Amino acid sequence: MAPPKKGDLNEEERELLEAIGKGNTAEATRLLGSKNVHVNCLDEHGMTPLMHAAYKGKVDVCKLLLRHGADVNCNEHEHGYTALMFAGLSGNKEITWMMLEAGAETDTVNSVGRTAAQMAAFVGQHDCVTVINNFFPRERLDYYTKPQGLDKEPKLLAKLAGPLHKVITTTNLHPVKIVLLVKENPLLAEVEAMQKCYRVLDLICEKCMKQRDMNEVLAVKMHYISCIFQKCILFLKEREDKLDGFIRSLLKGRDTDGFPVYQEKFIRECIRKFPYCEATLLQQLVRSIAPVEIGSDPTAFSILTQAITGQVGFVEAEFCTTCGEKGAAKRCSICKMVIYCDQNCQKMHWFTHKKACKKLKEVHEKQELEAAREKKQQERKQKKEAAQAAESALTSEEQVISEFGDNKEVELTCVGDKTEKTAPTKDTCATASQGDDVIEEKTQSADTVVEKAQESEE
């Protein structure tokens, strides 16, 4: 069959696109069986059936098309979009992953120079960005399990490729989490195995930096994991409590507020030791971290996570205090200031948290009180301002009316807020006129939060 031409679709190929739009896998299967249907046919915009299916988030049809030999890297689209870009835009993590597994290039750019990850970030599909930025095909690791060039032995034992791949593809970069992943696998948690692994990680890092299409994100990630592995080796060699000792060091909080100083310093040191100082990502990281005093926000962990996973709006409150896992929801029942995945994580942290728990409880109570007080103050201030505004508006009523039209009541309360002559926004009007309601709602929601936390502890 001749290679497909843009917009040159026959009847059955049009039916295929229709079936894809409806997610009708049975119909798509039937049509793909026809010898008149080209799996990589192009519509008038240069979109393939796979691009359509990816964009519409049809998981099963994507699988089917790939099985029928759909070209994941077809680049005939009028604006240079690829199937991976459409997957990222759709926000479907599973399809994004599927395109990557099928060999989608991550560095291809569209007609305005954007990669799939950048496009997904642009439309706020951050989960897809994370998937793309952290993808590392197993074959790339398996390469090291075969002797290369003059080597007599492979750089990596085949049995280590699986466990190492699991660590490499983690999207949770918390050092404790990575040590836990190592500990999970007895094959990996040995000095010799870890030595091989960290050397392979360094090689991958080097490759990422030296290849034509440089991948700084992956390079920094490999280097960071390599640093953690090297520290693991030290603890395995020198400490009786081995990797548990490393975890304790990482978790140990300082006396004043329980802040894990060693962990912060360790992550900073890992970043500083990145061997390619000309890398843009490194300079960006250093610029973000350097001005932050140890113990203040943002932590090196959150800055690194943001840079590598592409997570924006990183809120520390959602993450396990021990291992950094997202979506942790169990609070310490005493202080309510720390969150864990489960009892295991809480137990691991208790040796150091017990020293700070009481103090944190006081901080928590103080914060609650202060928040309530601040709200009240704000409410008083707003009432006062509203009154003043009403007064001053009376003196220049004519002017106000000419500026803001007829709706006097609402406008009057707002004018005083604004010194510049801009139109009042809906928000300022609402808060100024219903201060009482706001306070009540706030206290209520604080109660429900506490209730929820207690529930989750039971």
Residue 20 or 345 with smaller CB distance to Zn ion: 345
For residue 22, the minimal CB distance to Zn ion (Å) is: 42
**Count, residues near Zn ion per rule CB under 5 A:** 10
Phi, psi torsion values for 339, nearest 5 degrees: -120, 145
Asked whether the beta carbons of 199 and 287 are under 8 A apart, the reply is no
For residue 322, the minimal CB distance to Zn ion (Å) is: 5
Closest CA to 130 of 91, 99, 176: 91
For residue 341, the minimal CB distance to Zn ion (Å) is: 3
For residue 38, the minimal CB distance to Zn ion (Å) is: 50
Which range touches Zn ion (CB under 5 A), out of 182-190, 328-336, 399-407, 424-432? 328-336
For residue 309, the minimal CB distance to Zn ion (Å) is: 17
Residue 51 or 323 with smaller CB distance to Zn ion: 323
Residue 203 or 334 with smaller CB distance to Zn ion: 334
- In angstroms, the CA 276 to CA 280 distance is 9
Which range touches Zn ion (CB under 5 A), out of 109-117, 131-139, 242-250, 321-329? 321-329
Which range touches Zn ion (CB under 5 A), out of 5-13, 187-195, 327-335, 384-392? 327-335
For residue 335, the minimal CB distance to Zn ion (Å) is: 3
Phi, psi torsion values for 326, nearest 5 degrees: -75, 145
Q: For residues 330-389, which are near Zn ion according to CB under 5 A?
A: 332, 334-335, 341, 345, 357
- In angstroms, the CA 75 to CA 145 distance is 33
Residue 180 or 432 with smaller CB distance to Zn ion: 180
Residue 282 or 345 with smaller CB distance to Zn ion: 345
Binding mask 423-442 for Zn ion (x = CB under 5 A): --------------------
For residue 10, the minimal CB distance to Zn ion (Å) is: 55
CA-based end-to-end distance of the chain: 65
For residue 336, the minimal CB distance to Zn ion (Å) is: 7
Asked whether the beta carbons of 38 and 13 are under 8 A apart, the reply is yes
Which range touches Zn ion (CB under 5 A), out of 91-99, 132-140, 275-283, 326-334? 326-334
Figure out which of the listed residues 325, 331, 413, 414 binds Zn ion, where binding follows CB under 5 A. 325
Residue 292 or 334 with smaller CB distance to Zn ion: 334
Residue 247 or 345 with smaller CB distance to Zn ion: 345
Residue 241 or 457 with smaller CB distance to Zn ion: 457
Which range touches Zn ion (CB under 5 A), out of 2-10, 237-245, 317-325, 414-422? 317-325
Figure out which of the listed residues 323, 339, 386, 400 binds Zn ion, where binding follows CB under 5 A. 323
Figure out which of the listed residues 48, 322, 346, 382 binds Zn ion, where binding follows CB under 5 A. 322
Q: How far is CA 228 from CA 182, 246, 280, 285, 295, in A?
A: 10, 10, 22, 18, 21
Closest CA to 338 of 328, 348, 203: 328
Record the tokens describing residue 449, joined without a space. 């939060």
For residue 447, the minimal CB distance to Zn ion (Å) is: 20
For residue 325, the minimal CB distance to Zn ion (Å) is: 5
- In angstroms, the CA 363 to CA 382 distance is 28
Residue 99 or 360 with smaller CB distance to Zn ion: 360
For residue 174, the minimal CB distance to Zn ion (Å) is: 8
Residue 281 or 323 with smaller CB distance to Zn ion: 323
Figure out which of the listed residues 320, 400, 412, 414 binds Zn ion, where binding follows CB under 5 A. 320
Position 28 contacts Zn ion (CB under 5 A): no
Residue 160 or 348 with smaller CB distance to Zn ion: 348
Residue 28 or 323 with smaller CB distance to Zn ion: 323
Residues in contact with Zn ion by CB under 5 A are 320, 322-323, 325, 332, 334-335, 341, 345, 357
